[in-house]
DNA sequence: GCGACAG
DNA sequence: ATCTTGTCGC
């Protein structure tokens, strides 16, 4: 599994095989052991492949911040749609490692990926911890638009397979794309997404991590 | 061949 | 993701 961190190649066919292995390991059942804390992870990029990864630990369901961490890292792998994990997984693991949460929310897809192995799932499998993905836009799959009211959602499907949900976290605002990462059910992922979005489109864990990553980037450039 | 395409 | 000011709307 360390091959995910240090890919033996940059050949996309080989990396696809690694992702298929990750997909085989994903646990779609809810294995959360008491949900009292939730962490949000995000990364901001400045020039020259210099990145700032941030992780914020929040209490659940109060969403009060407990702790956070940011790191500066060099990134070599480029952004290639469907291969995001090979660019962002390592920084995310490093910033996430010291913050112990009952579940980690990632600003990316999880199961809702062509090979069923988005960044959120990679993180969960490598850490062997529950994760879910909440993305701002669609990577693959199709879904009916959910109704306008906050709380409504529709299933995201690839053919007949359900790979995630399109969730309205705020009335009248574009929905987010929710999918399981690891050791969680889609129903629970949707519930957590809604419970952590009291005011804005994006869930608080992701908003907090995004703000922190951006702040770290501006502060050191 | 053409369009789509997380961050 | 990042580059960037004002502006429309609740």
Whether residue A23 has pLDDT greater than 80: yes
Using the predicted structure, report yes or no on whether residue A75 has a pLDDT greater than 90: yes
pLDDT tens digits for A120-158?
999 999 999 999 999 999 999 999 999 999 999 999 999
Q: Please say if the pLDDT value at position A59 is more than 70.
A: yes
Across the range A31-51, mean pLDDT stands at 95
Q: Count of domains in chain A?
A: 1
On whether A42 is known to bind a ligand per the annotation, the reply is yes
Got the DSSP string for A80-108? Answer: -TT-THHHHHHHHHHHHTT---SEEEESS
Give the per-residue SS3 of A151-206: CCEEEEEECCEEEEEEECCCCCCCCEEEEEEECCCHHHHHHHHHHCCCCCCCCHHH
Within-domain flag for A147: no
Domain span including residue A128: 2-137+178-219
CA separation for the pair A2, A157 (Å, rounded): 31
Q: What is the pLDDT of residues A173-209, one digit of tens each?
A: 999 999 999 999 999 999 999 999 999 999 999 999 9
- What are the backbone dihedrals phi and psi of residue A94, each rounded to the nearest 5 degrees, phi first? -65, -40
Query: Tell me, what's the pLDDT at A221?
Result: 62
C1' of B3 to CA of A178 (Å): 24
Say what the pLDDT of residue A123 is.
98
**Cβ proximity of A155 and A179 under 8 Å:** no
Structure-token match 């629970």, residue found? A188
- Whether A46 CB is under 7 Å from strand C: yes
- CATH number of the domain that residue A77 is part of: 3.30.2170.10
């Amino acid at each position: 599994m360390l091959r995910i961190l240090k890919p033996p190649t940059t050949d996309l066919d080989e990396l696809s095989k690694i992702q298929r292995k990750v997909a085989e390991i994903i646990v779609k059942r809810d294995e959360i052991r008491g949900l009292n804390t939730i962490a949000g992870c995000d990364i901001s990029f400045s020039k020259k492949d210099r990145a700032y990864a941030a992780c914020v630990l929040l209490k659940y369901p109060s969403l009060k911040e407990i702790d956070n961490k940011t790191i500066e890292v060099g990134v070599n792998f480029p952004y290639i749609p469907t291969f995001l994990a090979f660019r962002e997984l390592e920084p995310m693991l490093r910033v996430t490692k010291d913050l112990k949460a009952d579940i980690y929310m990632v600003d990316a897809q999880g199961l809702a990926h062509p090979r069923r192995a988005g960044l959120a799932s990679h993180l969960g499998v490598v850490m062997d911890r529950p994760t879910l993905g909440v993305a701002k836009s669609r990577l693959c799959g199709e879904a009916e638009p959910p109704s306008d009211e906050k709380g409504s959602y529709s299933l995201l499907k690839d053919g007949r397979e359900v790979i995630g949900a399109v969730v309205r976290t705020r009335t009248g605002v574009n929905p987010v794309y929710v999918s399981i990462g690891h050791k969680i059910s889609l129903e629970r992922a949707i519930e957590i997404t809604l419970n952590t979005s009291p005011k804005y489109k994006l869930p608080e864990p992701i908003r907090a991590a995004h703000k922190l990553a951006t702040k770290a980037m501006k502060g050191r450039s």
